[in-house]
Structure 1
Amino acid sequence: MKKQFTIYIDSWAHGTAIPAIFAFGRPGTDSPFAPSDNVSPAIRWSNAPAGTRSFAIICHDPDVPSSGEDVNQQGKVVPADLPRVNFFHWALVDIPVDVPGLDEGAASRGITPRGKAVGLTQHGVTGKNDYTGWFAGDPEMEGTYGGYDGPCPPWNDSIVHHYYFEVFALDIETLGLQDEFTGQDALEAMKGHILASASHMGTYSMNPDIDG
């Protein structure tokens, strides 16, 4: 029987809460928000299909509010029925075929104001994540955010957020993407080249009134 392409993240079981060490934000002691450790999780994969020539990692949250009007506002709640959009937390492509995974902290070890580098790394080519747009106009945090930056859902959101870490086995060595490509750019470039994919999901909330 042919073995299935599989992703492993041992730090939390599929579908359960992501530990705060892997998040960008956490509930504070005296305030709704405090910076967290923002460490990228260890991730590995196995049983890549024949013909695989590279791998890619995409992490996204599909539960981000489509409007920021009520986000993180005292006395308000982001309603559950508000339309939601994707927020990309990590886009890494052109991972060499002989790389079986990434160690904990390989793509982030803490919050880096004004962002982290994009482009070639020792384990692939990293694009920018969506904190780049989130912090646009913030004089202390504005910049291009490459690599991984973890969960930080609105602390007044009425729903739990879901984070999908997906690995793709591709039939091409490079997607030829420029340094500041986005997660959506990567997904578009992969079309027609995906031999297999596997995902591992975790949940996270900063709202003390709901289970995360």
Structure 2
Amino acid sequence: MKTLLLSTLLACASLPATAFDLSSPQLRDGQAMSKAQEFNGFGCDGGNVSPALAWKNAPAGTQSYAVTVYDPDAPTGSGWWHWLVFNLPATTQGLPASAGNDATLLPAGALQSRTDFGQPGFGGACPPPGHGKHRYIFTVHALKVPRLDLPADASPALVGYMLWANGLGKASFTATYQR
């Protein structure tokens, strides 16, 4: 019996762990976003539509999720936050396209906070003309708490702090855009 149990444990230990994963039917890691995800304002005239997102294999103990979109290449010295949505229930496995533009598409209790555009909701790509290709990091954060006790006007820095303080894991992909 001990030999069978040891063999079973060794076999299970050698199986690859399934990684927390984030994907989108509209976007691919390392590929350019379409005009649909370009901001509409600040000299940009895109559709400003948040893409659909799906995730799987969250870490054990996940009690809620948050989604962020960040451009580390923005010429600000601190990057640019394009979307912050949190208090997504643990049963959530993704968001439909336009969820960042139409809060009725978000799960009950979800909250979108202020972006660097100064308002809540999805703000699409809008790099300065001639500034080259910018990276847009889409991330789903698995959290160890059922909700973040933050107001809707919380700054991106405060949301980021709370994500790091309560994170169990995260999954990301990076899309690009240039004008």
TM range (shorter): 0.7 to 0.9
Q: 1:6 aligns with which of 17, 21, 28?
A: 21
The question of whether the paired residues in 1 share the 8 Å contact of 2:44 and 2:126 is answered with no
Q: 1:88 aligns with which of 67, 81, 87?
A: 81
Per the TM alignment, residue 192 of structure 1 is displaced from its structure 2 partner at its CA by 3.2
Alpha-carbon separation, structure 2, partners of 1:197 and 1:96: 15
Q: Percent identity?
A: 30
2:126 maps to 1:152: yes
* Closer/same/farther in 2, CA of residues 195 and 11 from structure 1, 3 Å limit: same
Bigger Rg, which one: 2
Give the aligned partner of residue 154 of structure 2.
181
Alpha-carbon separation, structure 2, partners of 1:36 and 1:156: 17
Alpha-carbon separation, structure 1, partners of 2:35 and 2:155: 25
Give deviations 1:10-44, integer Å, cap 9, x for gaps.
21220110111011159xxxxxx451111010001
Alpha-carbon separation, structure 1, partners of 2:121 and 2:161: 19
2:70 maps to 1:60: yes
The question of whether the paired residues in 2 share the 8 Å contact of 1:92 and 1:124 is answered with yes
Alpha-carbon separation, structure 1, partners of 2:51 and 2:89: 19
What's the TM-score, normalizing by structure 2? 0.83
Give the aligned partner of residue 20 of structure 1.
35
The question of whether the paired residues in 2 share the 8 Å contact of 1:54 and 1:170 is answered with yes
Alpha-carbon separation, structure 2, partners of 1:53 and 1:34: 37
Give the aligned partner of residue 44 of structure 1.
54
Give the aligned partner of residue 30 of structure 1.
none
Alpha-carbon separation, structure 1, partners of 2:165 and 2:46: 38
SS, match of residue 191 in structure 1: helix
Alpha-carbon separation, structure 2, partners of 1:171 and 1:108: 27
State the 4+ residue runs in structure 1 displaced beyond 2 angstroms: 120-123
Give the aligned partner of residue 192 of structure 1.
165
Return 5+ residue gaps in structure 2 as ranges: 1-15
Name the Cα RMSD after superposition: 2.0
Q: Indicate the structure with greater helix content.
A: 2
Give the aligned partner of residue 168 of structure 1.
141
